[in-house]
A and B are shown apart, each in its own frame.
Chain A
Protein backbone atom coordinates (compact mmCIF):
# COMPACT_ATOMS: atom_id res chain seq x y z
CA UNK A 1 0.00 0.00 0.00
CA UNK A 2 1.38 3.38 -0.96
CA UNK A 3 0.35 6.98 -1.37
CA UNK A 4 0.39 8.73 -4.69
CA UNK A 5 -0.50 12.22 -5.81
CA UNK A 6 -3.33 12.94 -8.22
CA UNK A 7 -3.76 16.25 -9.98
CA UNK A 8 -7.31 16.66 -11.16
CA UNK A 9 -8.72 19.44 -13.26
CA UNK A 10 -11.34 21.22 -11.20
CA UNK A 11 -13.49 24.11 -12.23
CA UNK A 12 -16.55 25.11 -14.16
CA UNK A 13 -17.10 26.15 -17.75
CA UNK A 14 -13.45 25.69 -18.67
CA UNK A 15 -12.09 27.95 -15.97
CA UNK A 16 -10.19 26.01 -13.40
CA UNK A 17 -6.97 24.51 -12.23
CA UNK A 18 -5.26 21.26 -11.43
CA UNK A 19 -5.86 20.37 -7.78
CA UNK A 20 -3.68 17.90 -5.93
CA UNK A 21 -5.09 15.02 -3.87
CA UNK A 22 -3.31 12.20 -2.13
CA UNK A 23 -4.58 8.70 -2.87
CA UNK A 24 -3.96 5.43 -1.09
CA UNK A 25 -3.11 2.87 -3.74
CA UNK A 26 -4.08 -0.77 -3.23
CA UNK A 27 -3.62 -3.87 -5.37
CA UNK A 28 -5.50 -4.03 -8.63
CA UNK A 29 -6.81 -0.49 -8.26
CA UNK A 30 -7.96 1.47 -11.30
CA UNK A 31 -7.97 5.25 -11.79
CA UNK A 32 -11.73 5.44 -11.21
CA UNK A 33 -11.25 3.86 -7.76
CA UNK A 34 -8.86 6.67 -6.96
CA UNK A 35 -11.40 9.25 -8.11
CA UNK A 36 -14.10 7.66 -5.97
CA UNK A 37 -11.73 7.62 -3.02
CA UNK A 38 -10.99 11.31 -3.50
CA UNK A 39 -14.73 12.04 -3.67
CA UNK A 40 -15.38 10.17 -0.45
CA UNK A 41 -12.45 11.55 1.50
CA UNK A 42 -11.48 14.96 0.18
CA UNK A 43 -13.82 16.39 -2.42
CA UNK A 44 -17.46 15.32 -2.07
CA UNK A 45 -18.54 17.48 -4.95
CA UNK A 46 -15.91 16.40 -7.49
CA UNK A 47 -17.99 15.95 -10.64
CA UNK A 48 -17.33 12.86 -12.73
CA UNK A 49 -19.43 10.64 -14.94
CA UNK A 50 -19.29 6.91 -14.38
CA UNK A 51 -21.71 4.02 -14.34
CA UNK A 52 -20.71 0.40 -14.69
CA UNK A 53 -17.05 0.51 -13.69
CA UNK A 54 -16.42 -2.50 -15.87
CA UNK A 55 -15.63 -0.97 -19.25
CA UNK A 56 -19.07 -1.66 -20.65
CA UNK A 57 -20.97 1.62 -20.53
CA UNK A 58 -18.34 4.07 -21.72
CA UNK A 59 -19.15 6.87 -19.27
CA UNK A 60 -15.86 7.54 -17.48
CA UNK A 61 -13.85 8.87 -20.39
CA UNK A 62 -11.12 11.32 -19.46
CA UNK A 63 -7.52 12.15 -20.26
CA UNK A 64 -5.14 10.33 -17.94
CA UNK A 65 -1.64 11.72 -18.15
CA UNK A 66 -2.68 13.28 -21.43
CA UNK A 67 -4.01 10.06 -22.96
CA UNK A 68 -7.71 9.67 -23.65
CA UNK A 69 -8.87 6.58 -21.73
CA UNK A 70 -11.63 5.01 -19.70
CA UNK A 71 -10.76 5.60 -16.06
CA UNK A 72 -12.33 2.31 -15.01
CA UNK A 73 -10.07 0.33 -17.31
CA UNK A 74 -6.82 2.12 -16.51
CA UNK A 75 -4.99 0.21 -13.86
CA UNK A 76 -2.85 2.19 -11.48
CA UNK A 77 0.05 -0.23 -11.90
CA UNK A 78 0.39 0.72 -15.56
CA UNK A 79 1.01 4.37 -14.66
CA UNK A 80 4.25 5.83 -13.36
CA UNK A 81 3.32 6.62 -9.75
CA UNK A 82 6.50 8.47 -8.82
CA UNK A 83 5.09 11.50 -10.61
CA UNK A 84 1.61 12.96 -10.03
CA UNK A 85 -1.15 11.36 -12.09
CA UNK A 86 -2.87 14.09 -14.13
CA UNK A 87 -6.58 13.69 -14.85
CA UNK A 88 -8.24 16.12 -17.22
CA UNK A 89 -11.64 16.11 -18.89
CA UNK A 90 -11.95 15.29 -22.58
CA UNK A 91 -10.72 18.43 -24.28
CA UNK A 92 -12.72 18.19 -27.46
CA UNK A 93 -16.08 18.82 -25.79
CA UNK A 94 -17.42 21.94 -24.08
CA UNK A 95 -16.57 21.80 -20.40
CA UNK A 96 -19.26 21.63 -17.73
CA UNK A 97 -17.63 20.94 -14.40
CA UNK A 98 -14.49 19.16 -13.19
CA UNK A 99 -14.23 16.01 -15.32
CA UNK A 100 -17.67 16.32 -16.90
CA UNK A 101 -18.05 17.65 -20.42
CA UNK A 102 -21.02 18.31 -22.66
CA UNK A 103 -21.14 15.43 -25.12
CA UNK A 104 -24.60 16.24 -26.50
CA UNK A 105 -23.08 17.04 -29.90
CA UNK A 106 -22.60 13.30 -30.40
CA UNK A 107 -26.26 12.61 -29.83
CA UNK A 108 -27.14 15.29 -32.37
CA UNK A 109 -24.90 13.74 -34.99
CA UNK A 110 -26.40 10.30 -34.35
CA UNK A 111 -29.85 11.76 -34.86
CA UNK A 112 -28.88 12.75 -38.40
CA UNK A 113 -28.02 9.20 -39.42
CA UNK A 114 -30.91 7.53 -41.17
CA UNK A 115 -31.97 4.39 -39.29
CA UNK A 116 -31.91 0.90 -40.74
CA UNK A 117 -34.45 0.35 -43.49
CA UNK A 118 -34.66 -3.43 -43.65
CA UNK A 119 -35.84 -5.52 -46.54
CA UNK A 120 -39.03 -7.52 -45.97
CA UNK A 121 -39.03 -10.67 -43.89
CA UNK A 122 -38.88 -14.12 -45.41
CA UNK A 123 -42.12 -15.98 -46.01
CA UNK A 124 -41.81 -17.75 -42.63
CA UNK A 125 -41.59 -14.41 -40.81
CA UNK A 126 -37.88 -14.63 -40.03
CA UNK A 127 -34.81 -12.90 -41.29
CA UNK A 128 -32.05 -15.14 -42.58
CA UNK A 129 -28.52 -13.90 -42.14
CA UNK A 130 -25.37 -15.97 -42.17
CA UNK A 131 -22.75 -15.49 -39.49
CA UNK A 132 -20.17 -14.59 -42.12
CA UNK A 133 -22.41 -11.78 -43.35
CA UNK A 134 -22.70 -10.14 -39.96
CA UNK A 135 -19.41 -10.79 -38.20
CA UNK A 136 -17.87 -7.70 -39.80
CA UNK A 137 -20.57 -5.40 -38.39
CA UNK A 138 -20.77 -7.22 -35.08
CA UNK A 139 -17.36 -5.70 -34.41
CA UNK A 140 -18.85 -2.23 -34.89
CA UNK A 141 -21.72 -3.06 -32.55
CA UNK A 142 -19.15 -3.49 -29.78
CA UNK A 143 -18.93 0.30 -29.57
CA UNK A 144 -19.80 1.53 -26.07
CA UNK A 145 -20.08 5.20 -27.08
CA UNK A 146 -17.35 6.43 -24.79
CA UNK A 147 -16.64 9.11 -27.41
CA UNK A 148 -12.89 8.86 -26.86
CA UNK A 149 -12.43 8.59 -30.63
CA UNK A 150 -14.58 11.67 -31.15
CA UNK A 151 -12.43 13.40 -28.57
CA UNK A 152 -9.04 12.47 -29.96
CA UNK A 153 -9.65 12.84 -33.70
CA UNK A 154 -7.60 15.83 -34.81
CA UNK A 155 -10.12 16.78 -37.50
CA UNK A 156 -12.40 18.08 -34.79
CA UNK A 157 -10.02 18.46 -31.88
CA UNK A 158 -7.36 20.54 -33.62
CA UNK A 159 -8.85 21.56 -36.93
CA UNK A 160 -12.35 22.33 -35.68
CA UNK A 161 -14.02 21.00 -38.82
CA UNK A 162 -17.78 21.20 -38.26
CA UNK A 163 -19.11 19.13 -41.16
CA UNK A 164 -17.46 15.92 -39.99
CA UNK A 165 -19.33 13.11 -38.23
CA UNK A 166 -16.29 11.60 -36.53
CA UNK A 167 -15.08 8.01 -36.03
CA UNK A 168 -17.91 6.83 -33.77
CA UNK A 169 -20.43 7.71 -36.42
CA UNK A 170 -18.45 6.28 -39.31
CA UNK A 171 -18.59 3.05 -37.32
CA UNK A 172 -22.31 3.46 -36.99
CA UNK A 173 -22.80 4.27 -40.67
CA UNK A 174 -20.56 1.36 -41.62
CA UNK A 175 -22.69 -0.95 -39.49
CA UNK A 176 -25.72 0.17 -41.49
CA UNK A 177 -24.08 0.38 -44.91
CA UNK A 178 -22.69 -3.16 -44.60
CA UNK A 179 -25.85 -4.55 -42.97
CA UNK A 180 -27.17 -7.44 -45.05
CA UNK A 181 -30.75 -6.26 -44.52
CA UNK A 182 -30.33 -2.54 -45.17
CA UNK A 183 -31.83 -1.15 -48.36
CA UNK A 184 -30.56 2.43 -48.30
CA UNK A 185 -27.60 3.84 -50.18
CA UNK A 186 -25.72 5.99 -47.71
CA UNK A 187 -22.68 6.96 -49.74
CA UNK A 188 -23.74 10.41 -50.90
CA UNK A 189 -24.48 11.68 -47.41
CA UNK A 190 -21.31 10.03 -46.19
CA UNK A 191 -19.36 12.21 -48.61
CA UNK A 192 -21.39 15.41 -48.45
CA UNK A 193 -22.97 15.55 -45.01
CA UNK A 194 -20.75 13.44 -42.80
CA UNK A 195 -17.49 14.54 -44.44
CA UNK A 196 -15.61 11.25 -44.60
CA UNK A 197 -13.10 12.93 -46.91
CA UNK A 198 -11.74 14.90 -43.97
CA UNK A 199 -10.27 11.78 -42.40
CA UNK A 200 -6.60 11.49 -43.28
CA UNK A 201 -6.13 8.05 -41.76
CA UNK A 202 -3.92 9.04 -38.85
CA UNK A 203 -5.66 6.31 -36.82
CA UNK A 204 -5.81 7.95 -33.41
CA UNK A 205 -9.40 6.74 -33.11
CA UNK A 206 -8.22 3.15 -33.39
CA UNK A 207 -5.40 3.84 -30.97
CA UNK A 208 -7.67 5.03 -28.15
CA UNK A 209 -10.61 2.65 -28.68
CA UNK A 210 -11.13 0.76 -25.39
CA UNK A 211 -13.08 -1.94 -27.23
CA UNK A 212 -10.22 -2.50 -29.69
CA UNK A 213 -12.42 -1.89 -32.69
CA UNK A 214 -10.29 -1.44 -35.80
CA UNK A 215 -12.19 1.76 -36.55
CA UNK A 216 -9.97 2.99 -39.36
CA UNK A 217 -9.11 -0.28 -41.07
CA UNK A 218 -12.47 -1.98 -40.84
CA UNK A 219 -14.93 0.89 -41.05
CA UNK A 220 -13.50 4.16 -42.33
CA UNK A 221 -11.20 2.84 -45.07
CA UNK A 222 -13.81 0.43 -46.49
CA UNK A 223 -16.31 3.30 -46.50
CA UNK A 224 -13.79 5.56 -48.22
CA UNK A 225 -13.25 2.88 -50.85
CA UNK A 226 -16.99 2.66 -51.39
CA UNK A 227 -17.21 6.43 -51.73
CA UNK A 228 -14.24 6.37 -54.13
CA UNK A 229 -15.99 3.73 -56.22
CA UNK A 230 -19.21 5.72 -56.33
CA UNK A 231 -17.84 9.20 -56.96
CA UNK A 232 -14.15 9.30 -57.86
CA UNK A 233 -13.33 6.23 -59.94
CA UNK A 234 -13.25 7.55 -63.55
CA UNK A 235 -13.67 4.16 -65.18
CA UNK A 236 -16.52 3.20 -62.90
CA UNK A 237 -18.20 6.52 -63.60
CA UNK A 238 -17.75 6.05 -67.34
CA UNK A 239 -19.11 2.52 -67.15
CA UNK A 240 -22.13 3.61 -65.18
CA UNK A 241 -22.93 6.47 -67.54
CA UNK A 242 -22.59 4.17 -70.55
CA UNK A 243 -24.79 1.48 -69.08
CA UNK A 244 -27.41 3.99 -68.00
CA UNK A 245 -27.46 5.50 -71.53
CA UNK A 246 -27.92 2.08 -73.12
CA UNK A 247 -30.93 1.52 -70.91
Chain B
Protein backbone atom coordinates (compact mmCIF):
# COMPACT_ATOMS: atom_id res chain seq x y z
CA UNK B 1 0.00 0.00 0.00
CA UNK B 2 2.98 2.31 -0.34
CA UNK B 3 2.35 4.04 -3.61
CA UNK B 4 4.25 7.30 -3.32
CA UNK B 5 3.24 10.15 -5.52
CA UNK B 6 4.05 13.77 -6.01
CA UNK B 7 1.35 16.30 -5.48
CA UNK B 8 3.45 19.44 -5.33
CA UNK B 9 2.38 20.30 -8.83
CA UNK B 10 -1.38 20.25 -8.69
CA UNK B 11 -1.51 19.84 -12.45
CA UNK B 12 -2.91 16.32 -12.69
CA UNK B 13 -2.13 14.45 -15.85
CA UNK B 14 -4.78 13.79 -18.47
CA UNK B 15 -7.66 11.68 -17.08
CA UNK B 16 -5.78 11.14 -13.83
CA UNK B 17 -8.08 10.74 -10.86
CA UNK B 18 -8.53 8.89 -7.60
CA UNK B 19 -12.25 8.66 -8.27
CA UNK B 20 -13.52 5.14 -8.38
CA UNK B 21 -17.15 5.71 -9.27
CA UNK B 22 -18.26 5.46 -12.89
CA UNK B 23 -17.48 9.09 -13.63
CA UNK B 24 -17.00 8.41 -17.36
CA UNK B 25 -20.60 7.30 -17.91
CA UNK B 26 -22.01 10.80 -18.09
CA UNK B 27 -19.53 12.26 -20.59
CA UNK B 28 -19.66 9.05 -22.60
CA UNK B 29 -23.41 9.10 -23.11
CA UNK B 30 -23.46 12.86 -23.55
CA UNK B 31 -20.94 12.49 -26.36
CA UNK B 32 -23.01 9.77 -28.01
CA UNK B 33 -26.17 11.86 -27.74
CA UNK B 34 -24.56 14.99 -29.14
CA UNK B 35 -22.75 13.22 -31.97
CA UNK B 36 -25.82 11.22 -32.94
CA UNK B 37 -27.84 14.39 -33.25
CA UNK B 38 -25.18 16.24 -35.21
CA UNK B 39 -24.80 13.35 -37.65
CA UNK B 40 -28.53 12.83 -38.12
CA UNK B 41 -29.36 16.52 -38.50
CA UNK B 42 -26.56 17.08 -40.99
CA UNK B 43 -27.66 14.10 -43.00
CA UNK B 44 -31.29 15.21 -42.87
CA UNK B 45 -30.38 18.72 -43.91
CA UNK B 46 -28.47 17.42 -46.94
CA UNK B 47 -31.42 15.30 -48.09
CA UNK B 48 -33.35 18.27 -49.43
CA UNK B 49 -36.47 16.08 -49.77
CA UNK B 50 -39.11 14.30 -47.70
CA UNK B 51 -39.42 17.19 -45.29
CA UNK B 52 -43.07 17.82 -45.96
CA UNK B 53 -46.21 15.77 -45.91
CA UNK B 54 -49.65 17.30 -46.22
CA UNK B 55 -49.61 20.15 -43.69
CA UNK B 56 -46.67 18.71 -41.78
CA UNK B 57 -43.32 20.49 -42.14
CA UNK B 58 -40.04 19.26 -40.66
CA UNK B 59 -38.66 21.72 -38.10
CA UNK B 60 -35.27 21.44 -39.85
CA UNK B 61 -36.85 23.17 -42.83
CA UNK B 62 -39.13 25.62 -41.02
CA UNK B 63 -39.79 28.28 -42.10
CA UNK B 64 -39.54 26.93 -45.60
CA UNK B 65 -37.20 29.26 -47.50
CA UNK B 66 -37.02 28.14 -51.10
CA UNK B 67 -35.17 30.62 -53.25
CA UNK B 68 -33.85 30.31 -56.78
CA UNK B 69 -30.52 31.87 -55.84
CA UNK B 70 -29.86 29.23 -53.17
CA UNK B 71 -28.62 26.07 -54.83
CA UNK B 72 -28.42 23.99 -51.65
CA UNK B 73 -30.91 22.48 -49.26
CA UNK B 74 -33.12 25.21 -47.70
CA UNK B 75 -32.36 23.61 -44.33
CA UNK B 76 -28.99 25.34 -44.34
CA UNK B 77 -30.68 28.73 -44.46
CA UNK B 78 -32.34 27.77 -41.15
CA UNK B 79 -30.13 25.50 -39.18
CA UNK B 80 -27.32 27.94 -38.36
CA UNK B 81 -29.70 29.76 -36.03
CA UNK B 82 -30.77 26.91 -33.73
CA UNK B 83 -27.26 25.48 -34.01
CA UNK B 84 -25.80 28.78 -32.84
CA UNK B 85 -28.36 29.00 -30.07
CA UNK B 86 -27.46 25.58 -28.76
CA UNK B 87 -23.73 26.01 -29.33
CA UNK B 88 -23.61 29.17 -27.21
CA UNK B 89 -26.10 27.84 -24.66
CA UNK B 90 -24.63 27.68 -21.17
CA UNK B 91 -25.88 24.17 -20.64
CA UNK B 92 -24.57 22.80 -23.91
CA UNK B 93 -21.21 24.39 -23.21
CA UNK B 94 -20.95 22.21 -20.13
CA UNK B 95 -22.06 19.20 -22.16
CA UNK B 96 -19.58 19.56 -24.98
CA UNK B 97 -16.66 20.84 -22.95
CA UNK B 98 -17.00 17.82 -20.72
CA UNK B 99 -17.83 15.12 -23.23
CA UNK B 100 -16.12 16.23 -26.45
CA UNK B 101 -13.28 18.53 -25.43
CA UNK B 102 -12.57 16.78 -22.11
CA UNK B 103 -11.88 20.11 -20.38
CA UNK B 104 -12.42 18.38 -17.97
CA UNK B 105 -14.39 15.21 -18.62
CA UNK B 106 -15.59 15.02 -15.01
CA UNK B 107 -14.90 16.77 -11.73
CA UNK B 108 -11.51 16.03 -10.17
CA UNK B 109 -10.47 14.12 -13.28
CA UNK B 110 -7.43 15.51 -15.08
CA UNK B 111 -8.33 17.70 -18.03
CA UNK B 112 -6.93 17.58 -21.56
CA UNK B 113 -3.55 19.30 -21.78
CA UNK B 114 -3.84 22.41 -23.91
CA UNK B 115 -3.16 26.09 -24.02
CA UNK B 116 -6.38 26.98 -22.27
CA UNK B 117 -7.58 30.51 -22.98
CA UNK B 118 -11.22 30.54 -21.90
CA UNK B 119 -13.46 33.00 -23.73
CA UNK B 120 -10.76 34.74 -25.68
CA UNK B 121 -10.48 35.62 -29.36
CA UNK B 122 -12.88 33.47 -31.37
CA UNK B 123 -14.61 32.17 -28.31
CA UNK B 124 -15.76 35.67 -27.45
CA UNK B 125 -18.72 34.86 -29.67
CA UNK B 126 -20.08 32.86 -26.74
CA UNK B 127 -21.09 36.26 -25.42
CA UNK B 128 -23.52 36.69 -28.33
CA UNK B 129 -25.86 34.05 -26.93
CA UNK B 130 -28.53 36.71 -26.44
CA UNK B 131 -28.73 37.39 -30.20
CA UNK B 132 -29.31 33.72 -30.88
CA UNK B 133 -31.97 33.91 -28.20
CA UNK B 134 -33.79 36.68 -30.06
CA UNK B 135 -33.85 34.50 -33.15
CA UNK B 136 -34.85 31.46 -31.13
CA UNK B 137 -37.84 33.35 -29.76
CA UNK B 138 -38.92 34.04 -33.37
CA UNK B 139 -38.49 30.34 -34.08
CA UNK B 140 -40.77 29.51 -31.17
CA UNK B 141 -43.48 31.54 -32.90
CA UNK B 142 -42.80 29.98 -36.31
CA UNK B 143 -42.83 26.44 -35.00
CA UNK B 144 -45.98 27.12 -33.02
CA UNK B 145 -47.56 28.41 -36.21
CA UNK B 146 -46.44 25.27 -38.06
CA UNK B 147 -47.93 23.20 -35.25
CA UNK B 148 -51.19 25.12 -35.65
CA UNK B 149 -51.14 24.48 -39.40
CA UNK B 150 -50.60 20.78 -38.78
CA UNK B 151 -54.19 20.61 -37.51
CA UNK B 152 -55.42 21.27 -41.05
CA UNK B 153 -55.83 18.46 -43.49
CA UNK B 154 -57.24 18.26 -47.02
CA UNK B 155 -60.59 17.26 -45.56
CA UNK B 156 -60.64 19.98 -42.95
CA UNK B 157 -59.54 20.19 -39.33
CA UNK B 158 -58.15 17.10 -37.70
CA UNK B 159 -55.48 15.65 -35.48
CA UNK B 160 -52.93 13.13 -36.65
CA UNK B 161 -50.04 11.57 -34.75
CA UNK B 162 -47.85 14.03 -36.62
CA UNK B 163 -49.95 16.91 -35.29
CA UNK B 164 -49.27 15.80 -31.74
CA UNK B 165 -45.58 15.37 -32.46
CA UNK B 166 -45.27 18.81 -34.03
CA UNK B 167 -47.23 20.44 -31.23
CA UNK B 168 -45.04 18.84 -28.61
CA UNK B 169 -42.00 19.96 -30.58
CA UNK B 170 -43.14 23.57 -30.37
CA UNK B 171 -43.86 23.16 -26.65
CA UNK B 172 -40.50 21.58 -25.88
CA UNK B 173 -38.53 24.12 -27.86
CA UNK B 174 -40.39 26.92 -26.15
CA UNK B 175 -39.75 25.40 -22.73
CA UNK B 176 -36.06 25.15 -23.60
CA UNK B 177 -35.96 28.72 -24.87
CA UNK B 178 -37.86 30.11 -21.87
CA UNK B 179 -35.21 28.66 -19.57
CA UNK B 180 -32.41 30.46 -21.40
CA UNK B 181 -29.93 32.15 -19.10
CA UNK B 182 -29.75 35.18 -21.38
CA UNK B 183 -33.52 35.54 -21.19
CA UNK B 184 -33.30 35.23 -17.43
CA UNK B 185 -30.82 38.08 -17.41
CA UNK B 186 -32.84 40.26 -19.77
CA UNK B 187 -36.23 39.93 -18.10
CA UNK B 188 -35.04 40.61 -14.58
CA UNK B 189 -31.70 39.09 -13.67
CA UNK B 190 -29.91 42.35 -14.42
CA UNK B 191 -31.90 44.22 -11.75
CA UNK B 192 -30.23 44.64 -8.35
CA UNK B 193 -33.20 46.03 -6.50
CA UNK B 194 -36.66 45.13 -7.76
CA UNK B 195 -38.38 47.43 -5.33
CA UNK B 196 -36.32 50.41 -6.54
CA UNK B 197 -36.93 50.34 -10.32
CA UNK B 198 -39.87 50.93 -12.64
CA UNK B 199 -41.92 47.81 -13.28
CA UNK B 200 -39.75 46.12 -10.64
CA UNK B 201 -42.51 43.83 -9.48
CA UNK B 202 -43.31 42.70 -13.02
CA UNK B 203 -39.64 42.10 -13.76
CA UNK B 204 -39.30 40.11 -10.56
CA UNK B 205 -42.30 37.99 -11.55
CA UNK B 206 -40.92 37.52 -15.06
CA UNK B 207 -37.55 36.50 -13.62
CA UNK B 208 -39.26 34.04 -11.27
CA UNK B 209 -41.18 32.64 -14.25
CA UNK B 210 -38.01 32.09 -16.27
CA UNK B 211 -36.40 30.49 -13.23
CA UNK B 212 -38.97 27.71 -13.36
CA UNK B 213 -37.73 26.64 -16.78
CA UNK B 214 -34.14 27.54 -16.07
CA UNK B 215 -33.97 25.13 -13.14
CA UNK B 216 -34.46 22.24 -15.57
CA UNK B 217 -32.64 23.79 -18.50
CA UNK B 218 -30.60 20.64 -19.04
CA UNK B 219 -33.68 18.45 -19.12
CA UNK B 220 -35.45 20.71 -21.64
CA UNK B 221 -32.25 20.91 -23.68
CA UNK B 222 -32.20 17.16 -24.13
CA UNK B 223 -35.94 16.65 -24.57
CA UNK B 224 -36.17 19.39 -27.19
CA UNK B 225 -33.05 18.14 -28.96
CA UNK B 226 -34.31 14.62 -29.18
CA UNK B 227 -37.82 15.67 -30.15
CA UNK B 228 -36.83 18.00 -32.93
CA UNK B 229 -34.84 15.19 -34.52
CA UNK B 230 -37.68 12.76 -33.95
CA UNK B 231 -40.20 15.17 -35.51
CA UNK B 232 -38.07 15.38 -38.64
CA UNK B 233 -37.67 11.62 -38.73
CA UNK B 234 -41.40 11.03 -38.34
CA UNK B 235 -42.36 13.42 -41.13
CA UNK B 236 -39.56 11.99 -43.28
CA UNK B 237 -40.77 8.41 -42.81
CA UNK B 238 -44.39 9.37 -43.47
CA UNK B 239 -43.40 11.35 -46.52
CA UNK B 240 -41.27 8.45 -47.79
CA UNK B 241 -44.28 6.19 -47.35
CA UNK B 242 -42.48 3.90 -44.95
CA UNK B 243 -45.04 4.55 -42.24
CA UNK B 244 -48.57 5.95 -42.39
CA UNK B 245 -49.72 8.88 -40.29
CA UNK B 246 -52.52 7.73 -38.03
CA UNK B 247 -55.48 10.09 -37.85
CA UNK B 248 -56.68 10.41 -34.27
CA UNK B 249 -59.57 12.74 -35.08
Contact = CB atoms under 8 A, between A and B. Distances in A.
Query: Are the chains A and B members of one assembly?
Result: yes
Which residue of B90, B98, B194 has the most chain A CB atoms within 10 A of its CB atom?
Answer: B90
Contact of B118 (A20, A68, A155, A178): A155
Interface in B78-101: 90-91, 93-94, 97-98
Contact of B10 (A91, A129, A200): A91
A62 B248 CA distance: 59
Nearest to A160: B11
B19 A15 contact: no
A118 interface: no
A222 B185 contact: yes
Nearest to B23: A66
A100 to B, nearest CB: 13
A65 B20 contact: yes
A95 B7 contact: yes
Nearest to A163: B118
B129 A133 contact: no
Interface in A195-247: 195, 197-204, 207-208, 216-217, 221-222, 224-229, 231-233
Contact of A202 (B103, B129, B181): B103
Which residue of B21, B104, B196 has the most chain A CB atoms within 10 A of its CB atom?
Answer: B104
B127 A66 contact: no
A132 B204 contact: yes
Size category of the binding interface on chain B: 35 or more
Given A67-B19, A198-B118, A91 B4 contact: no
Instruction: Decide if the interface of chain B is mainly helix, strand, loop or mixed.
Output: loop
A217 B11 contact: no
Contacts of B204: 132
B1 A19 contact: yes
Interface stretch (A26-34, A42-50, A82-90): A82-90
Contact of A233 (B127, B193, B196): B127
Nearest to B134: A235
Interface of B: 1-8, 10-12, 17-21, 90-91, 93-94, 97-98, 103-104, 107-108, 110-111, 114, 116-120, 124, 127-130, 181-182, 184-185, 189-190, 192-196, 204, 214
8 contacts: A14-B8, A18-B2, A88-B18, A132-B194, A157-B12, A157-B108, A224-B127, A232-B127
